[in-house]
Amino acid sequence: MRIGSHRSAAGGVANAIREAVDLGLDCVQLFTANQRQWKPRQPSAQECADWFAALKNVGWSNPEDHRVVSHNSYLVNLASPDMAARKKSIALQRSELERCEMLGIRLCVMHPGAHLSSKRSPQEKNNLLADPNKEELAGIKRLVSSLDQLHKELPGYKVFTCLENTVGAGTTLGYNFNQLALARELVQDPNRIAFCIDTCHAVAAGYNMDTTTSANATLKLIDHHLGFKQVRVIHANDSLFPCGSRKDRHAHILDGACGASCFRSLTKVAAWKNVPVILETAKEGLFQGRNWDVVNAERLRSGCGAKPSVKSAKAKYAATRFSKSSAAAVLFFAILIVFNTACKTKTLDQIRGDTPTETATVFRGPTAPTVDESVLLSRGKSQIDSGEYDNALITFQEILQENPKLPDAWVGVGQVQALKKDWTQSESAYSNAAELDSGNFDAQFGRGKALQVLNQLVDCIRAYHRALLIRPDDFDANLNMATAYLQLDEGRSAIVFAEKAVKLKPDSGTARINLGVAYELSGKPDLAIAQYELAAELMEPTPQLLTNLLNAYAQSKRYREAVNAALLLVKLAPRSNSYERLGWAYFRVGDYEKSLASYRDAVRIDPKHWPSWNGIGVNLLNAWVVGGKKDAFLQASAKAAFERSLLQNPEQPKVAKLIKAYKL
């Protein structure tokens, strides 16, 4: 493992290299420019020459050795909801990547940013098991959009942007591994994105690592969600504050709450043998007359067998400062992580498309069934086929009592529980099978389906990705993958799999609908219409298909065709929603009389259908305005319709504004 430190580039970027080598370090991290300025200067030609000369002198000239890491500016927030601020951040990050390319630096560490909306609720605050909430997901999508723009503007760059995990203070993103993985999955060019794991941040966020068991459990989660090979930088920092504190305060190695097992375990990961491990600990002062970077590096190299130094009063206080509630929370997460590991169940949700690194400590190879076990497996499958689900479950459990490492038996349990609609138990069984045999398609696909029903969509997508690595041409896996992405409103990501499903089964109406929805979400309504119309030819039209078709016509401003689709919808499903859509379509083509009649049909079916009351109000208001605002009855009727709508749904600022604007 290559151990280095963050060193100052004051006086020229080459100085950071010289400092690191003088201290006996194997690599270095630096700021390539002033990290507190919005418009930092680029290094001069002389500074570049000095830089490359220093690299050559110390034998670090090959950029693929990853001896040098850049850390971007702290000012960058690519997830900001403020467009002007995000543009400034994109420009600043672009200048950072340009410097990295200029200096031959292949690794640039970057914090994911903050969404700057409402903070998580108290019950959500330390929930590492949750999917991103609405605000976090929006922030991740802004981050992805910013990264996509940078990749488009800087084609061919070889530098990896390494997204770093955070403690999760305030509204910062990336405090659990699924958010980092989701960002990488959603970018158009994921091969330009990697990860940086900060040990202090992980522990402060709530990942316990102070025992060998908990440290290995957390490492297992990192591999499961991110993949060891995608982690290209490690920040080795102890945490001044306890697990789950969400406070980003670095301590010297063995002087904080991370525990010796944290650092001992990460040094044993074979995939990280040549990964730069960067110390970001304090540089001030000496320990027994020695430089702190040298001391911390020795502690890492010795496997953290050294005794911790005498802690400051502040450090001692932080390490023991547990209220009853915080101690309970930390204990809960530690137990939960270990329990999930013991049960071979992955519950931290994320997306990742590539095959995980398989090591002896993380994955085990499959166990082949014996002759007797094969007979029982066959019996269990026959019982499933005949609908004897309870008997089948007993048969598979009988096998597992003797051989709990048989993947096919766990798959059988998963199938039975799915047929019994117990999706939680089904997911657990499929997860066990996938853990024992990561190449088992039925295990990966079954787990994905169970997670999809449980609405754990990001982990579901990851399972489907693994299934597709095994069988890339499986129709159901491609179809379900597309559906899962659509459930996340990620039309662009869904298109790839929806198109593949259509290619595999061109006569599938369901696949055509999925592709249509993907096109529609991606702003391609004409392509969506073509797929919906083909689906209508291949299958009996459903209300949802007609609604989708109607909405796509509306996006393309093909309002007359929208009317025809709405008429079919009303005929097939004479509900309030259908009549409301018909009223809207008639209004768009200027047939206000039929529009008003359709909206009134909707409220006759459901007097509480507030969108239709708005439709009535708009038609009456339009008639009043066209008539020169002379008919007081029309004015009063429009006001009454809007008031009926607000009575059902008071949170309609546009309606309230309309009433005020026209003095209704």
Catalytic amino acids?
36, 71, 74, 111, 164, 198, 201, 235, 248, 250, 280
CA atoms of 26 and 275, how far apart (whole Å): 10
CA atoms of 664 and 158, how far apart (whole Å): 62
b/e 493-518 (16+ beta carbons within 10 angstroms → b): bbbebbbbbbeeeeebbbbbbbbbbb
- Closest residue by Cα to residue 272 from 191, 187, 195: 195
- Closest residue by Cα to residue 479 from 449, 454, 441, 459: 449
Query: What's the full length of the chain, in residues?
Result: 664
CA atoms of 330 and 214, how far apart (whole Å): 12
For 255-332, list the strands marked E by DSSP: 276-279, 286-287, 290-291
Helix, strand, coil abundance in the chain, percent, nearest 5: 60, 5, 35
- Partners of 214 in the beta sheet? none
Q: For the beta carbon of residue 232, count every other beta carbon within 10 angstroms.
A: 20
Residue 228: which residues within 8 A CB-CB, separation 6 or more? 222, 269, 271, 272, 356, 357, 359
Are 158 and 173 within 8 A, CB to CB? no
Are 112 and 163 within 8 A, CB to CB? yes
CA atoms of 169 and 247, how far apart (whole Å): 7
- Closest residue by Cα to residue 98 from 50, 172, 150: 150
Q: For the beta carbon of residue 544, count every other beta carbon within 10 angstroms.
A: 12
CA atoms of 52 and 59, how far apart (whole Å): 10
DSSP class of residue 280?
-
